[in-house]
Amino acid sequence: MRRCLLAASLALSIGAAHADEGMWLPLQLPDIAAQLRKAGYEGDPAQLADLAKPPMNAVVKVGGATGAFVSPQGLVLTNHHVAFGVIQYNSKPDRDLIGQGFVAGDRAAELPANPDYRVLVTTGFDRVTDRVLTAARGKTGRAYYDAVEAATKAIVGECEQDAGYRCSVADMHYGTDFYRIKQLELRDIRLVYAPPDAIGNYGDEIDNFMWPRHSGDFTLLRAYVGRDGKPADFSPNNVPYVPPAHLEVSTQHVNAGDFAMLAGYPGTTFRNRTAPEFAQQVQWQLPARVELFGKLIETIEAAAAKDEDAKVRYAAQLASLKNGLKRAQGELDGLRRSNAVDARAKDEAAMLAWLAKQPGSQATLADIRAAQAVLEQARATRERDQLLGVLRSQTQLMRAALTLQRLALEKGKPDAQRESGYQQRDEALITGQLKQVQRRFAPEVEKAVLAELLAQHRALPAAQRVPEIEAVFGATAESARAALDALYAKTALGDEAKRLAWMATTPADVAASDDPLLKAAAALMPALLRVEGEAKTRDGELLRLRPAYMKALIAHRTSQGRAVYPDANSTLRVSYGTLTGLEPRDAVVYRPLTTVQGIVEKHTGEAPFNAPAPLLAEIAEGSFGNTADPKLDTQTVDFMTNLDTTGGNSGSPVLDARGKLIGINFDSNWEAVSASWWFDPRYKRAIHVDARYMRWLMDEVYPAHHLLREMGLPVE
């Protein structure tokens, strides 16, 4: 039976999928060819399966998100917000590309991106499961974790021997299957066309997640290579990269009900997590985060209330906490609205009941039970672990002291064995973080934050309390206050030069330091390392045990004729569905297409609703030509589909039934913020720039006729 389940998992499944849900691996598409065709796809699903062949090799990773080649001369279409760093990098006091936008009149005028900006073209996607797991088999816990890590590093190192390539190993189905991904790393990227941010980012944070949207969130880049056709750093002698394939931009109109398909690199989803993990997310994790973040916001605001300078220093941290709280609350509301906990529990119970009836399923069931036990074990210290995480992430000087101590510790090892994040290549980043402290730190606020966290620590059950914390801060509010006063009065880490000086010293110097905050960090370090070690041991066990759960889940779904896609892990996925509106709540209907009328309605003249004068003038003139929607009799801006997306899908090309590009993904709706855990077809929508808006802008408003022609598009 064990082997039978395994076989089922490796096929990555056959059969009809759930509604339109799914972030499919391209290699799964031939298996779901019937449902793809039924949904309206007119091409050959088999042709979509190979990442290294057209059209999938036209879809690339850009600046951590997605983009696509749209011309034979290396033109890459992505989001304005994905290319924002490039635009910012090229903006100067006398050349405000953010505010004014940019149109390169010819190749020579194209502007080089920041040197670390990359476009990655996938050239290989190969299963390496056996190689990854060979050494791990027979091991458990931390040893299993380390064996997988070592094998992965070896595979990547070997693959990257090929100059110009970047490699990685993707874990599919939580340790069940591993794929080596090989990507050509293009590093001479140039800015070709960007609308003003008042178009590319119209509505900004206010409209973010909020339909209806009216953003022209797109930008065109171009990849260059050396004259030998190989990746190269920027050089004026480089030539445009000739991609193995590019997508054609559609000249057809789109309508509600039309088939749509999207390819991109979604980051992380949790949909195949176990029922108890779903319950914990809704019953503890999200409410706990809402409460903790709420408490931290309150604490920081109160501590900074009378100090205008501190208010400025903590503005970014407060904004981030408020955004995190809002996101957590939105996710919680969504999961409750969808009854996700119940639904997942029923689904899992049915699977386990089915599994118990299968011959020879005892070993699998034992592994599943063992995995659940590991998760339960983690639950026993979840409050403590959350507090320790925040102790680092929400402080400035304390974090600096902990980082310096940890770095000193890691420096004692050969570089390859150092903990990730503390290797030689990370030291510049650490220096940057230590500098940043200066703009974000006020001692009274940090002391208030720590006092609050220490109070929460004292309120933990005895078994969760950390002896090292009590050793440094005592067991009462009074002792904590006294210790904090003493630490922050006497530490010299608040001085930037003195803080940075520790980067240049030896581990022994750090260990011998008299600075009270560095000493406190040293005293806390054993606890942090112990907790980190426990987590790695659990992670190793889960990596070993979860495949049993995943194989059972896949086998059960297969028995129902349903295919299963792996949870998102930043690998290329395909989703298909329909151009469709939404009924977000009682008596409210969202239409699936927005029009330029909405730009005018939202325009206030002040950012983020400051539509540029040329745009408003062209809208007022109303001559939209062949990009105007014939049914709506005006120019569309954005549209909505029920495609399955998550963070990382920014910039994903949206294709029609014939594989033509009809839009570019850039946002999703607030009601779908819980979709990383649960896909609810009633609420999950993705939001795209309508390619017709892009074409109109490039034709009429900020003309770039040479680029339209390069993409094979008509010019009016």
Q: List the catalytic residues.
A: 81, 217, 650
Q: Which of 142, 591, 660, 706 lies at the binding interface for a second copy (CB under 8 A)?
A: 591
Residue 312 beta carbon to a second copy: minimum distance, rounded to whole angstroms: 16
Burial class (CB in 10 A: 0-12, 13-18, 19+), 35: buried
Measured from the CB atom, the residue of 435 and 585 that comes closer to a second copy is 585
Name the residue nearer to a second copy (CB basis): 143 or 600.
600
The 3-class SS string of 404-460 reads HHHHHHHHCCCHHHCCCCCCHHHHHHHHHHHHHHHHHCCHHHHHHHHHHHHHHHHCC
**Contact residues for 700 (Cβ-Cβ < 8 A; gap 6+):** 618, 623, 624, 625, 716
By CB under 8 A, residue 594 contacts a second copy = yes
How far apart (Å, rounded) are the C-alpha atoms in residues 146 and 144? 6
Looking at 207-215, 538-546, 610-618, 682-690, which segment touches a second copy (CB under 8 A)? 207-215
H, E, C per residue of 598-614: HHHHHCCCCCCCCCCHH
Q: Can you tell me the distance from the alpha carbon of 411 to that of 190, in angstroms, rounded to the nearest whole number?
A: 38
Q: How far apart are CA 168 and CA 506, in angstroms?
A: 33
Nearest to 340 by CA among 266, 268, 270, 287: 270
Bridge partner residues of 674 (DSSP) = none
Tell me how far, at minimum, the Cβ of 116 lies from a second copy, in Å: 38
Stretch of 210-218, 455-463, 483-491, 621-629 lying at the interface with a second copy (CB under 8 A): 210-218
Least gap, CB of 590 to a second copy (angstroms): 6
- For every residue of 541-577, DSSP letters joined together read HHHHHHHHHHHHHHHHHHHTT---PPPP-SS-EEEEE
User: Using CB atoms within 10 A of its CB, is residue 15 exposed (0-12), middle (13-18) or buried (19+)?
Assistant: middle
Q: Which of 126, 427, 601, 633 binds a second copy (CB under 8 A)?
A: 601
C-alpha dist (Å) from residue 44 to 37, 212, 250, 328: 9, 34, 18, 41
- Contact between 285 and a second copy (CB under 8 A)? no
> Given candidates 140, 285, 431, 597, which one binds a second copy under the rule CB under 8 A?
597
- In the complex, the smallest distance separating the C-beta of residue 212 from a second copy, rounded to whole angstroms, is 4
Give residues 306-325 in contact with a second copy (rule: CB under 8 A). 306
| Lookup: tokens for 426 | 């990370």
Nearer to a second copy, 307 or 710 (CB): 307
Cα of first residue to Cα of last residue in the chain, in angstroms, is: 65
Distance CA 591, CA 582 (A): 7
CB of 452 to a second copy, least distance (A): 20
How near is the Cβ of 682 to a second copy at its closest, in Å? Answer: 12
Residue 339 engages a second copy in binding (rule: CB under 8 A): no
Kindly give the interhelix angle for 397-411 and 427-440, rounded to the nearest 10 degrees.
160
SS3 assignment, position 665: strand
The answer to whether 586 contacts a second copy (rule: CB under 8 A) is yes
Taking the complex as a whole, the smallest distance from the CB of residue 710 to a second copy amounts, in Å, to 32
The nearest distance, CB 672 to a second copy, in angstroms, is 16
Determine the Cα–Cα distance for residues 35 and 43; give it in Å rounded to an integer: 13
Point out which span in 208-216, 245-253, 395-403, 468-476 binds a second copy (CB under 8 A): 208-216
Site membership for a second copy, residue 211 (CB under 8 A): yes
Do the Cβ atoms of 432 and 527 come closer than 8 Å? no
**What 3-state DSSP class applies to 652?**
coil
Task: Output 502 or 624, the one with its CB closest to a second copy.
Answer: 624
Q: Which stretch binds a second copy (CB under 8 A): 115-123, 559-567, 580-588, 607-615?
A: 580-588
Cβ distance to a second copy smaller for residue 78 or 338: 338
Of 119-127, 148-156, 593-601, 647-655: span binding a second copy (CB under 8 A): 593-601
270 binds a second copy (CB under 8 A): no
C-beta separation of 142 from 536 below 8 A: yes
Binding mask 540-579 for a second copy (x = CB under 8 A): ----------------------------------------
C-alpha 682/C-alpha 667 separation (Å) is 17
Contact residue for a second copy among 163, 587, 613, 620 (CB under 8 A): 587
* Nearer residue to a second copy within complex by CB, 7 or 305: 305
Q: Does 588 bind a second copy (CB under 8 A)?
A: yes
If one asks whether residue 3 binds a second copy (CB under 8 A), the answer comes out as: no
Q: Which stretch binds a second copy (CB under 8 A): 278-286, 420-428, 438-446, 587-595?
A: 587-595
Q: Which is nearer to a second copy, 291 or 415 (CB)?
A: 291
Q: Which residues contact a second copy by CB under 8 A?
A: 211-212, 214, 305-306, 337, 585-595, 597-598, 601
